[in-house]
Amino acid sequence: MPELPEVETLCCQLQKIIGGKAIRSTKVFDDKLAGAGNLKAGIVRDVKRVGKRIHIGLDNHTSIIIHLRMTGRLLWRQNSTRPEHSRWKMVFKDGNVFLVDPRRFATITIGVSTSEKITNDLVAGFDHTAFLKQQARRRVNIKTLLMDPKALAGIGNIYACEILYCSGISPYRQASSLSLKEWKRVFATAKRILKKGIEKRGTSISDWRDLYGRPGENQHELKAYGREGKPCKICGGRIQRIKQGGRSTFFCANCQK
């Protein structure tokens, strides 16, 4: 599922291939996305990631904002053959960008461009002080907090598990129980893991593919997620799987305190 590194990968690829180009037309294939039909054609000025959202800024002061949610993907195709489960497309002189989304959770919003600045993105702009003041004392478990888009941008289940495992912090811990030293360790670890994810063009466990349909390589870097019952790479104990807020958490009870 697309999280920060996957969305970043797409934004960079999009910027390169559609930046400066004119959108000839768009087409909606799924009534759920009917709102995307109101787009006035324009030239792509820039493609930016805002959290997990893809902001495609046009020269006519509007933006196409895409959130891929669970199974959404963007696919570049030189020919106009519709891939299976395609829900929307953007047509350029030399090719098409398809939104492919089997489960239909993805959203497209047409909005006015804003220069909103995000301060809770560990890779693209993070305000430690604001975070510690507003989020660090919350009475939720740390795992849930890491995944809360209002607390931190772009972190989903896979990266949340990896960040806690590599930080040596138990997912059961209340956010409010972490010391400043532990928070700093979490921040540093998270930055490292997210950047690695970007370098590897995302984590392809099941269906993630980049703009050109290629899987990423970060699945080979995972140390906790999806490894239930397998040996912990640090202590050799068993990785456990529990449910938190309806989502699976993978962790090592011995290494994560």
Partner DNA sequence: AGAACCGCCTGCTTGC
Partner DNA sequence: TGCAAGCAGGCGGTTC
Q: Cβ distance 50 to 118 under 8 Å? A: yes
**70 is a site residue for DNA (CB under 7 A):** yes
Token pair recorded at residue 76: 């570049």
Q: How far is the CB of 169 from DNA (least distance, A)?
A: 17
Q: How far is the CB of 137 from DNA (least distance, A)?
A: 8
Mention every residue, 6+ apart, whose C-beta is less than 8 A from residue 62.
39, 40, 42, 110, 111, 112, 113
Question: Active site includes 52?
Answer: yes
Size of the chain in residues: 257
b/e map of 212-238 (b: 16 or more CB within 10 Å)?
A: eeeebebbeebbbbbbeeeebeeeeee
Q: Are strands 53-58 and 95-100 parallel, antiparallel or unpaired?
A: unpaired
Q: How far apart are CA 152 and CA 131, in angstroms?
A: 9
Q: How many residues bind DNA (CB under 7 A)?
A: 27
Beta bridge partners of 120: 126
Residue 82-121 contact track with DNA, rule CB under 7 A, x = bound: ---x----------------xxxx----------------
Q: Single out the residue of 27, 128, 138, 184 in contact with DNA (rule: CB under 7 A).
A: 138
User: With respect to DNA, which residue has the nearer C-beta, 18 or 158?
Assistant: 158
**157 is a site residue for DNA (CB under 7 A):** yes
Question: Active site includes 116?
Answer: no
Q: How far is the CB of 174 from DNA (least distance, A)?
A: 9
Q: How far is the CB of 131 from DNA (least distance, A)?
A: 14
Q: Single out the residue of 109, 113, 119, 144 in contact with DNA (rule: CB under 7 A).
A: 144
- Name the segment binding DNA (CB under 7 A); options: 10-18, 138-146, 178-186, 187-195: 138-146
The sign of the dihedral angle between the CA atoms of 27, 104, 38, 210 is negative
User: With respect to DNA, which residue has the nearer C-beta, 31 or 220?
Assistant: 31
Spot the catalytic one: 6, 8, 49, 52. Answer: 52
Output phi, psi for 61, to 5 deg: 70, 15
**48 is a site residue for DNA (CB under 7 A):** no
Counting Cβ atoms within 10 Å, is residue 206 exposed (0-12), middle (13-18) or buried (19+)? Answer: exposed
**35 is a site residue for DNA (CB under 7 A):** no
Q: At what angle do helices 4-18 and 180-199 cross, to 10 degrees?
A: 40
Q: How far is the CB of 76 from DNA (least distance, A)?
A: 22
The catalytic residue positions are 2-3, 52, 247
Interacting residues toward DNA by CB under 7 A:
1, 3, 32, 51-52, 67, 69-70, 85, 102-105, 138-140, 144, 147, 149-150, 156-158, 245-248
